[in-house]
Structure 1
Amino acid sequence: MSYRFSERLPLYLDLIRWSRPAGWLLLLWPTLAALWIADDGFPGWHLLSVFIAGTVLMRSAGCCINDVADRAFDRHVERTAQRPVTSGKVPVQEALAVGAVLAFAAFLLVLTTNPPTILLSFAALAITLLYPYAKRFVSMPQAVLGIAFSFGIPMAFAAVQGAREWSLAAVGAAVPPQAWWLLLGNLFWVLAYDTEYAMVDRNDDLKIGIRTSAITLGRFDVAGVMLFYAVYLASWGALTHSLGAGHFAWLGIALGAAQALWHFTLIRDRSRAGCFKAFRLNHWLGASVFGGIALDYALR
């Protein structure tokens, strides 16, 4: 049995994109920023460990679900044709089993927090399961992904400020309105970088009939990406300031804005290489915003 697992392990690591950490970093930075804001600084090793590990586990589980849902489409897309499920190297049931184990491990971590956070985790799971099918019905499925990739924000506030009560009222008390606005603002960042990602596959997606923001925006795709960046950075600057962050948080926003302008130079000719590079490097933009917030609280 152990020999068989050692044979399958490289395929599982490929399935969850282990060699490409940019995906889980895109989820991690806004979640950590929310933790720091909610706790007025370092949230402690327990919550930090729970949210880092939980982010990696849930993103990995999401990859399993996404690849199963998209296997019929992915074989027609140059970039995804050799993914383990699409190529048949990992059967559907096996991929779902791996995803279930990873999601269960993440849930065990959530159980060490509090009831409001646990309740929110069910909503997060539902959105994760919904996203792979959104592109069949929604013109801009990246918005659904934006909610999924931003749900760590209210969960972070709930974990820091939540009580021991099992009720929606307890969730409402633990998560202030600004946290939900932060989620909405972060959604625009997801729209920005995932539209860049969709621009890479636009020709393939048009052939197979998948809906994406890159297709919906058409010739306004580059302008749309830059507008999404602007909304994200402006809203996060204003909201983090209203929640107590100071000048160094604005420095992080400024560094993020500089990177967004650089990304414009990468995507303006709509080349596959440029758009994919811009997408891959977005985690540095998120790291800059988080770094400014963390530094601001550390120097008080």
Structure 2
Amino acid sequence: MEQPGASSLPDAVRGHWADRWAPAGLRPYLRLARIERPIGWWLLLLPCWWSAALAAVASGQPYPDPLHCFLFLIGAVAMRGAGCTYNDIVDRDLDIRVERTRQRPLPSGQVSLKGALAFLGLQGLVGLLVLLQFNGFAIATGFGSLAVVALYPFMKRFFWMPQIVLGLAFSWGALMGWAAAFGSLSLAPVLLYLASIAWVVGYDTIYALQDIEDDEIAGIKSSARFFGERVKLGVGICYGLALVFMLAAFVQAGAGAATFVGIGLFALHLGRQVARIDRSDGAGALRLFRSNRDAGLILFAAMVADALF
């Protein structure tokens, strides 16, 4: 039997298979990888898929490379899990001071530090095997993300906008799809990368609204605390920058009408999020945060349709 406090965390998907069907001894490790919170790997995956679709549009291919998209899916799940495991190893002393995180596997004692390190190595190996399936330039580009990933957990201790560093890491896929397709980079994927960074800062600011009170007590810095009462304005500026950089990327890549219809729908979705932000509603903030998966999929579908037609 699992020990007390080993149940799902407050922001986990209720009734997820990892909590219902996985062997009891494996469940803490799955929680360490945030398997029961799939929104994380979706948000890591979407810039990869956008980039692959943008490459298809630019090259005149009828669709993004299916193998590349599948590899990005496996890599996103593995590397998001590895990143979360690493983050929890670094933050294990902070997590015990925050209500939403104190029942995570490491601070609650469900997983030992040695076990977490071994699990981190296993997930990293899966990510490496995926990365090695691409061309040499894409492999080198992928390795370039590791420095940013390693830096992120420390930023919340002294930098008021750690979400920017998270954006640098979570948006790396915006470069990878293009690099995998062309074996090089150009202005279009760099602009898409900048757009994704701004998007990440926006949606993670919404996510951080859940922890404002505990973060103040623990001395953890976040963009939600930085924006304060002007959080709607702050998120709106981030989303606005994301749209501007996206438009520039799509023009640079020679995108067609379907992509621009998609970005219009994407913009409406982001605007709806901003309008519904309520600093006092943590549950609502989580719902808005999770809705970014749908926003990203709408944009990806439009780009695929553009390539096809």
Q: TM-score, normalised by structure 1?
A: 0.90
Query: Does structure 2 conserve the Cα–Cα contact (< 8 Å) formed by 1:30 and 1:290?
Result: no
Distance 1:130 1:100 in 2: 18
Closer/same/farther in 2, CA of residues 214 and 152 from structure 1, 3 Å limit: same
Partner of 1:87, secondary structure, is coil
Q: Which one-letter code corresponds to 1:204 in the other structure? A: D
**Matching of residues 199-214 of structure 1 within 5 Å:** 199-214=209-224
Tell me what 2:182 maps to.
161
Q: Which one-letter code corresponds to 2:43 in the other structure? A: L
Partner of 2:103, secondary structure, is coil
Are residue 122 (structure 1) and residue 139 (structure 2) matched? Answer: no
Of 5, 28, 34, the residue aligned with 2:51 is 34
Distance 2:259 2:67 in 1: 24
Tell me what 1:267 maps to.
277
Q: Which one-letter code corresponds to 2:236 in the other structure? A: M
Query: Does structure 2 conserve the Cα–Cα contact (< 8 Å) formed by 1:237 and 1:249?
Result: no
Tell me what 1:109 maps to.
130
Query: Does structure 1 conserve the Cα–Cα contact (< 8 Å) formed by 2:187 and 2:249?
Result: no
Moved over 6 A (4+): none
Distance 1:180 1:60 in 2: 25
**Matching of residues 108-257 of structure 1 within 5 Å:** 108-162=129-183, 174-257=184-267
Q: Which one-letter code corresponds to 1:68 in the other structure? A: I
Q: TM-score, normalised by structure 2?
A: 0.88
Q: Per-residue deviation at 1:18? A: 1.1
Bigger drift between 140-149 and 100-109 goes to: 100-109
Distance 1:279 1:16 in 2: 19
Partner of 1:20, secondary structure, is coil
Distance 1:264 1:122 in 2: 34
Partner of 1:88, secondary structure, is coil
Root mean square deviation of aligned Cα:
1.6
Q: Which one-letter code corresponds to 1:116 in the other structure? A: F
Of 83, 91, 106, the residue aligned with 1:85 is 106
Are residue 12 (structure 1) and residue 33 (structure 2) matched? Answer: no
Q: Which one-letter code corresponds to 1:230 in the other structure? A: G
Distance 2:78 2:271 in 1: 32
Q: Per-residue deviation at 1:177? A: 2.1
Query: Does structure 2 conserve the Cα–Cα contact (< 8 Å) formed by 1:37 and 1:244?
Result: no
Which digits, 9 at most, give the CA deviation of each residue in 1:113-134, with x for residues without a partner?
1111111122112211211111
Distance 1:298 1:43 in 2: 9
Tell me what 1:61 maps to.
82
Tell me what 2:14 maps to.
none
Which digits, 9 at most, give the CA deviation of each residue in 1:205-232, with x for residues without a partner?
0111111111112222111001111111
Partner of 2:101, secondary structure, is coil
Query: Does structure 2 conserve the Cα–Cα contact (< 8 Å) formed by 1:153 and 1:182?
Result: yes
Q: Which one-letter code corresponds to 1:145 in the other structure? A: L
Which digits, 9 at most, give the CA deviation of each residue in 1:175-219, with x for residues without a partner?
002211211111000010000111110110011111111111222
Which digits, 9 at most, give the CA deviation of each residue in 1:90-113, with x for residues without a partner?
112211211111111111111111
Bigger drift between 229-238 and 78-87 goes to: 229-238
Tell me what 1:276 maps to.
286
Which digits, 9 at most, give the CA deviation of each residue in 1:207-263, with x for residues without a partner?
111111111122221110011111112321231132021111112112112212221
Note the residue ranges of structure 2 that are not aligned, 5 or more in a row. Answer: 1-21
Distance 2:42 2:255 in 1: 22
Q: Per-residue deviation at 1:6? A: 4.3
> Which of the two has greater helix per residue?
1
Q: Which one-letter code corresponds to 1:8 in the other structure? A: G
Tell me what 2:304 maps to.
294
Distance 1:22 1:259 in 2: 17
Tell me what 2:118 maps to.
97
Identity of aligned residues (%): 37
Query: Does structure 1 conserve the Cα–Cα contact (< 8 Å) formed by 2:232 and 2:275?
Result: no
Closer/same/farther in 2, CA of residues 61 and 249 from structure 1, 3 Å limit: same
Q: Which one-letter code corresponds to 2:47 in the other structure? A: P
Q: Which one-letter code corresponds to 1:21 in the other structure? A: P
